C-alpha cells in the first residue's frame, strides 16, 4: 500500500466483529484515483451498450466485472493487498467473487439505493463473502454517502425502513478510502443531491468454495492465467478449479486443480 495507515489484522477483526465494517482512510493516491475514475467512466459506457442491447435498461450507472477491461482495475487488484486482514476474516485463503463499479449522478435512481445485504441467507459466524468499497470521489452527506447499519451483520432479521433510516451510519470519507464490510451487513447507497458524480469500485471476496459471479479463468484463458504471479492466480480462482474429467480428478495433491487450503 503506497499511502494511508493500514490497521493490523487483529484491530480489523475487532471492528468487524463489533461493527460489521472497517475502514482504511486515504489509501489510494490521487494519480491512481484519476486513472480509476477515467477507467470507470469508460467501463460504465461500454457496459451500458451491452445492458441496453440485452434489454436491461434499469441498470444505468453500474458496471459489472470491470476487471475484463484490465488497465487501472487490474493494477488495483495487483497492488492493493489487504491479504492479512481478509484472510483473518475468512480464516482461510480467498478468491475474487465480483468486481463492479458504480457512478451515482444527481437525483439518479438505482437498485443499490434499496435497503439490502449482499448474501441471500444470513450466515452468522460463518463468513462466506466480504465486500470492499473504494471511494474514487469524496463521499459526503450531500452526494449520497453509503448508509451502513452498524451491528446488523450479527442479526438475522431485516430492519424496518424506519429503523434503518434512524440508526444507520453514513460512510463519509475522502477519495482513496477503502471500506471492508461483512456481506451480512444491511446497507444502501445514498441519494446524490450535488451536480457532480460520486464514483466507487465495489468488489466482493469469498471463500473459494463459493462460486464466483464471473469466470475470470475462462475469460483470460488458462495459458495466460498460469503465467500470472501466484497471488493474482489465487484471487482469480486458479487454485479452486473444478475437474472436468476423471483424469483431472485422479491426480496427486500437488497437481490437483482444487488445491489444499481452499476452504
Backbone angles phi, psi at 130, to 5 degrees: -130, 130
Could you tell me whether strands 169-171 and 198-206 are parallel, antiparallel, or unpaired per DSSP bridges?
unpaired
Distance of CA 28 to the CA centre of its chain: 15
Distance from C-alpha of 45 to C-alpha of 253, rounded to nearest angstrom: 44
Q: How confident is the model at residue 2 (pLDDT cuts 50, 70, 90)?
A: very low
Model's pTM, two decimal places?
0.94
**Parts of the chain belonging to CATH 2.60.120.620:** 9-214
Domain 9-214: CATH architecture, name and number where available? Sandwich (2.60)
Instruction: For cell 487454485, name the residue.
Output: 239
DSSP-derived letter for residue 149 is -
What pairs with residue 62 in β-bridges? 102
SS3 assignment, position 86? helix
Residue pLDDT, tens place only, 8-46: 999 999 999 999 999 999 999 999 999 999 999 999 999
Distance from C-alpha of 167 to C-alpha of 190, rounded to nearest angstrom: 14
Asked if residue 74 has pLDDT above 50, the reply is yes
Amino acid at each position: 500500500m503506497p499511502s494511508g495507515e493500514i490497521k493490523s489484522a487483529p484491530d480489523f477483526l475487532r471492528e468487524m466483529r463489533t461493527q460489521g465494517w472497517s475502514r482504511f482512510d486515504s489509501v489510494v493516491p490521487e494519480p491512481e484515483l484519476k486513472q480509476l475514475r477515467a477507467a470507470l467512466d469508460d467501463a460504465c459506457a461500454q457496459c451500458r451498450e451491452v445492458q441496453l442491447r440485452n434489454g436491461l435498461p434499469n441498470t444505468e450507472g453500474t458496471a459489472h466485472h470491470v476487471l475484463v477491461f484490465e488497465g487501472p482495475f487490474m493494477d488495483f487488484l495487483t497492488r492493493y493487498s489487504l491479504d492479512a486482514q481478509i484472510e483473518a476474516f475468512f480464516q482461510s485463503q480467498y478468491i475474487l467473487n465480483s468486481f463492479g463499479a458504480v457512478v451515482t449522478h444527481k437525483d439518479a435512481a438505482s437498485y443499490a439505493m434499496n435497503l439490502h445485504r449482499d448474501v441471500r441467507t444470513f450466515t452468522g459466524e460463518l463468513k462466506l463473502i466480504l465486500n470492499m468499497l473504494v471511494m474514487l470521489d469524496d463521499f459526503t452527506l450531500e452526494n449520497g454517502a453509503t448508509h451502513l447499519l452498524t451491528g446488523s451483520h450479527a442479526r438475522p432479521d431485516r430492519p424496518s425502513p424506519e429503523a434503518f433510516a434512524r440508526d444507520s451510519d453514513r460512510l463519509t470519507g475522502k477519495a482513496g478510502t477503502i471500506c471492508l464490510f461483512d456481506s451480512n451487513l444491511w446497507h444502501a447507497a445514498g441519494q446524490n443531491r450535488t451536480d457532480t458524480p460520486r464514483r466507487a469500485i465495489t468488489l466482493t471476496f469469498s471463500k473459494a468454495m463459493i462460486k464466483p459471479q464471473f469466470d475470470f479463468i475462462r475469460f483470460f484463458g488458462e495459458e495466460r492465467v498460469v503465467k500470472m504471479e501466484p497471488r493474482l492466480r489465487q484471487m482469480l480462482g486458479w487454485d479452486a478449479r473444478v475437474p472436468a474429467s476423471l483424469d483431472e480428478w485422479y491426480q496427486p495433491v500437488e497437481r490437483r486443480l482444487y488445491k489444499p487450503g481452499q476452504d
